[in-house]
Structure 1
Amino acid sequence: MQYEFYEILQLIGALGVFLFGMKVMSDALLLLAGSKMRSILERMTSNRVLGIGTGFLITSVIQSSSATTLMVVSFANAGLLTLVESIGVIMGANIGTTITAWLITILGFKVSMSTIALPLVGFGFGFTFLKKEKLKNLGSFIIGFALLFIGLQFLKEAMPDIKNNPELLAFLSRYTDLGYLSILLFLLIGTVLTVVIQSSSATMALTLIMTAQGWIPFELAAAMVLGENVGTTITANLAAIIGNYKAKQTARAHLIFNLMGVFWMLILFYPFLKMISWLAIYLGSESPYVNAAAIPVAISLFHTIFNIANTFLLVWFVKPIAKLVERIIPERLEKYKQIDEPKFLTENSLKYPETAISTLRKESKYLFKNAVFEIVSHALNIHRTDIKSDLKVKKVIKKSNILFETNVRELYITKVKNIYGKIISYATKAQTVLKLTEAQNNQLLELKIANRKMVEILRYVGELSRNVGLYLNSDNKHIKKEYDKIRNRVVKVLRTIHLFRTEKDNEVYHNKLVQLKKEAREIFHSNNLKIDELIRNDLITVDMASSLFNDYDNVNDMIENLIDVADLLYGKQDSLLESDV
């Protein structure tokens, strides 16, 4: 056989050019439309039909089912997509990836792209000198598109000529006449090639060239296409290794969905191929069983109809598939972490703005509803369970007279300081490495503001806590009454915040928070008058009055910050940014 080492290197190089062109084109399209695509992915998955349409649209535009499934895995990892929604998008992505096969078949075999490919590279390169980022990305897309077909031309030329290498045809013929065993063998070859190359599009291109050169017949090419459908799931499964159980479930769902499709197709394999042959002839092509040149069109038809049929068949079983996946990858309780360790922040979530923002919001909410809520309530000698209960506020205050041993400074260091630093660092990194829209950047700024306010809340309550402990069981009923009023106001705010974040119809509680914030601003004058009256009547000492003056200021500032944080984390976005920046 005259196909030597140099020719093998040429074949690998041609494949490299093809893959590089595919990557440049896909990356450029992600930069051009990535934020819109991710926005569509986040919002348009409320039902199966929308999910399938979204997956198809994104994959058709960015020309990479792997990029789509990686996006889906990242969104599932961040909790932006449920398992059922993820399965719908993956189904659509499987249909969208068939566009690539048609692109290669029509432009790579029916149209001579090699004559205009190099001029296209020059044309696209000119765009990269322009200042506008969108035009630069457009230039990269044109270059990638041209390189794709230059690589395809190189692949066709690098493939050995069977006429001059009859030994190769003899070698292959040993494995093409084994009946159903040949089908399984070439299915495995398609799977392995896709896993090794990490691109179903590249394997599809190789398959189409092999059929056009007369290496393998139609049915074995179809078997390789089925293998490619299985092999392409490896990308998502590799990405899910470092993800949480949700990411792993999504990746396994992709694998199971494609395996189920291959299973039923193997049962109906020969009748299905005859139907494809009839359809190809009906559409004006020749039979792939008669003319090798007609196989690329028939394979593209097979790929498209199979994926559409598989989606239509299995879309009715999305929930059972989800339940099966949940049994294979059960919900795993996270290992217990001290609260000073980040619970949600992961490097994987820094891949997209949407996942980074979602992760930061979850971490901030967790810090607020656990550490901050606990420290504030305990610092004022109040049980969190009483705040969350239906017990009247006066009774909550009355029963909370046993002094807690609460060291706010120590609690801040052990439960808040480290995680606060990680949140700010993570948000800053997201702003540095990700391309954010103005709205997304504002959301990150709001999250930073919310966390900064949480730290301020703990500073205020730390100062307040010392005097609460001092006067909680004081013999002076007047000073005790004033500090009970302070605690009463804080309990009202904490309870309203709890209801605001837990109740579905939370507009009522939002309005109450607005009112409580307004009262905090207006009460300053009446507090001063009250302290003056207590001093004039010798009901409190000068030291007590000094403490009250400071603590009235502290509690007013603390209440405003508590309400601001609740609004930033649980209310309408961008509501407070302008007033705080």
Structure 2
Amino acid sequence: MTLATFGHILGGIGIFLLAVSLLTQGLQMAGSDILRRVMVRWTKTPFHSIGLGLSATALLQSSSAATVIILGLVNAGILPLGHAIWMIMGSNIGTTLTGWLVSTVGLDFDIKAFALPFIGIGMMMRLFLKSPGYTAAGLALTGFGLFFLGIDILKDAFSGYAENIGVDGTADMDGFRSLVTLLLIGCAATILTQSSSAATALILTGTAGGLITLEGGAAMIIGANMGTSFKAVLIVIGAAPNARRAAAAHVMFNLLTAAVALAILPLLLTAIAGIERLLDIEATDMVSLALFHTLFNIMGVLLISPFVPMMTRFLEKRFVSAEEEDGRPHYLDDTTLEIPAMALDALLRELKRLQHIAARVTLNAVTAEDDKTRKTKAAEDAARYRESLSGLSGRINNFADALAKTQLSEDTSNRLQYALRINRYLHEFVRLSGSLADVAAFIRSSKLSPALTRDSQKYLDRCIRTLRLLADEKPLPKTALALLKKDYGKMKDSLLRGGVRKAISVNALSHYLDSLSLTRRMMEQGIKARLYLLMLEVGGEPPASADAHEEDHDIEDGALPASQ
């Protein structure tokens, strides 16, 4: 290979990558928000999900861009894992459009005459039309023109190279080992260019230029398809578990499809020749490769489809985060429903575990070390836990609903009513748990008067000490609710006086009081849940309401009145 030929190939790849980038950017700017909304709404069935994944990739001309959107929606918890797997399978079929574009346009006419007007019109739209929609369309048109210009440059480079070496570059590469080598080359081409479209165009133009045989090109197409998994793996580094599961599904799908396609490659090529004769298609190597690319991806979808539910269940047990593990029921088992008393005991143990975890996570977020990075991490952990624990509360409700439909004794029925009340308290506790960290941050960052700081800190300390008791599952004093309300009332009065005396701005006061009100409700719900749990464990009367006024006793670690 001469330096000039190498430069032509490198330049063609560069222009092609630029084309894919501009085309993707333009189409994303024009319709990515719409595409996201459509992805969420139109994935009700596997057929819809496959069709949407196919359409998104064909439209964006980038499986990577479509994968980024899919994994982003999964990472945000908007798109379920099962739907994402079907969309990824459809996305793989969508990558075959590049092959059909290249092979349908062909290489036997003046590609530059076709491509250059798109580049000119697109750039004029980009420069002179200020509307975001026209700007995006201009980028897409420019990318479309560069797409074919890159193909033209690669065609000339590969044709010249094949003529110089005088033989087909892969003509002597027979046998399974050679096919595996070509497959790995195709995979490397996708990884290095970060574009399966670019790799596919390279393979097609190389085949058309006589550098690659049909069988060798087919093996490289399989490899290029495999290489798309690499981008998915990169995207999900540090992502949520569900996004990692979706990426793993992408890898599994591509590897299984590639293994089967390589194993039956001669049969697939024979089938393609038969299809071309049946449809009276001109049998060029480019058309054959485009047809092969489509056929083996459809084959992969048909092959894997029956196993998607099994794959989903398998992956849901992998990449389990701490918050996911804590958010899964540990004691609820449908087999216990046959013995209602045993099922109720399991339900109460699950409620107790839910409160322990919720209090621990809330406490960690409030007492995180005074370091921005650690506080941010604690807040992010707490947010993930809120979502996970809300799900656990929902599963507890479902179990309680199933239990309520069984034959219950009067005592079990009464205890189940209290259990439902406890779960409601804990659901509210989890929902409002972020408010206490907001109050703690406000106290630290605001320049309050000494009196306001003292009263605010006293209330915050009361909440923290109570949370420690809840997290450690230690007994609460019967006066816990009254003590909380008393400290809250003192602090609220102090704040209102401060607002009148202009010790704190009215806007800041309003925001602070809103947050404080949420923390009071959160703590009340947590305390009530704990006292009701204790009542169900040891028996006795329901705890006093939050409105009861009892004498003031500090809740101190190690010096606590025992619950009765």
Superposition map of 1:293-332 within 5 A: 294-332=284-322
C-alpha distance 453-314 of structure 1, shift in aligned 2 (>3 A): farther
Please say if 1:147 is aligned against 2:175. no
Secondary structure class of the residue paired with 2:281: coil
Q: Residue 457 of structure 1 aligns with which residue?
A: 514
The match for 1:252 among 248, 268, 273 is 248
- Give the residue type in structure 2 aligned to 1:25: L
Secondary structure class of the residue paired with 1:214: coil
Q: Residue 98 of structure 2 aligns with which residue?
A: 100
C-alpha distance 298-379 of structure 1, shift in aligned 2 (>3 A): same
Please say if 1:166 is aligned against 2:158. no
C-alpha distance 253-381 of structure 1, shift in aligned 2 (>3 A): closer
CA contact (8 A) 2:50 2:86 kept: yes
Distance 2:462 2:518 in 1: 7
Secondary structure class of the residue paired with 2:160: coil
C-alpha distance 66-35 of structure 1, shift in aligned 2 (>3 A): same
Q: Residue 90 of structure 1 aligns with which residue?
A: 88
CA contact (8 A) 1:68 1:93 kept: yes
CA contact (8 A) 2:58 2:94 kept: yes
Q: Residue 272 of structure 1 aligns with which residue?
A: 268
**What is the deviation of 1:205?**
0.6
Distance 1:163 1:299 in 2: 19
Distance 1:20 1:379 in 2: 60
**What is the deviation of 1:71?**
1.1
Q: Residue 396 of structure 2 aligns with which residue?
A: none
C-alpha distance 407-372 of structure 1, shift in aligned 2 (>3 A): farther
Please say if 1:62 is aligned against 2:84. no
**What is the deviation of 1:118?**
1.5
Q: Percent identity?
A: 29
Q: Residue 119 of structure 2 aligns with which residue?
A: 121
CA contact (8 A) 2:16 2:150 kept: yes
C-alpha distance 319-327 of structure 1, shift in aligned 2 (>3 A): same
C-alpha distance 458-132 of structure 1, shift in aligned 2 (>3 A): closer
C-alpha distance 239-454 of structure 1, shift in aligned 2 (>3 A): farther
- Give the residue type in structure 1 aligned to 2:308: V
C-alpha distance 110-163 of structure 1, shift in aligned 2 (>3 A): closer
| CA displacement, residues 268-324 of structure 1 (integer Å, 9 cap, x when unaligned) | 22112100111112222344xxxxxx0110111111121112112212211212233
Secondary structure class of the residue paired with 2:224: helix
User: Scaled by the length of structure 2, what TM-score is found?
Assistant: 0.62
CA contact (8 A) 2:159 2:210 kept: no
CA contact (8 A) 1:101 1:300 kept: yes
User: Scaled by the length of structure 1, what TM-score is found?
Assistant: 0.60
Q: Residue 237 of structure 2 aligns with which residue?
A: 241
Distance 1:344 1:250 in 2: 26
Secondary structure class of the residue paired with 2:79: coil
CA contact (8 A) 2:188 2:227 kept: yes
Please say if 1:215 is aligned against 2:215. no
Distance 1:68 1:399 in 2: 57
Q: Residue 416 of structure 2 aligns with which residue?
A: none
- Give the residue type in structure 1 aligned to 2:150: G
**What is the deviation of 1:75?**
1.4
**What is the deviation of 1:17?**
0.4
- Give the residue type in structure 2 aligned to 1:20: L
- Give the residue type in structure 1 aligned to 2:3: F
The match for 1:403 among 480, 483, 494 is 483
Distance 1:381 1:76 in 2: 35
Q: Residue 332 of structure 2 aligns with which residue?
A: none
| CA displacement, residues 102-135 of structure 1 (integer Å, 9 cap, x when unaligned) | 1121124365431132222221222121121111
Q: Residue 7 of structure 1 aligns with which residue?
A: 5
Distance 2:429 2:238 in 1: 22
- Give the residue type in structure 1 aligned to 2:146: L
CA contact (8 A) 1:120 1:146 kept: yes
CA contact (8 A) 1:381 1:400 kept: no
Secondary structure class of the residue paired with 2:107: helix
**What is the deviation of 1:400?**
4.9
| CA displacement, residues 219-254 of structure 1 (integer Å, 9 cap, x when unaligned) | 111111111111011111101113122221111110
Deviates more, 1:260-269 or 1:139-148: 260-269
**What is the deviation of 1:332?**
4.6
Secondary structure class of the residue paired with 1:329: coil
Distance 2:192 2:165 in 1: 28
Please say if 1:370 is aligned against 2:447. no
Q: Residue 547 of structure 1 aligns with which residue?
A: none
Distance 1:241 1:381 in 2: 35
Distance 1:121 1:231 in 2: 29
- Give the residue type in structure 1 aligned to 2:290: S
**What is the deviation of 1:82?**
2.0
**What is the deviation of 1:39?**
0.5
- Give the residue type in structure 2 aligned to 1:58: A
Number of residues paired by the alignment?
A: 399
CA contact (8 A) 1:382 1:400 kept: no
Secondary structure class of the residue paired with 2:212: coil
Q: Residue 23 of structure 2 aligns with which residue?
A: 25
C-alpha distance 371-454 of structure 1, shift in aligned 2 (>3 A): farther
Gapped runs of 5+ residues in structure 1?
A: 288-293, 347-357, 385-395, 413-450, 466-486, 496-581
- Give the residue type in structure 1 aligned to 2:255: L
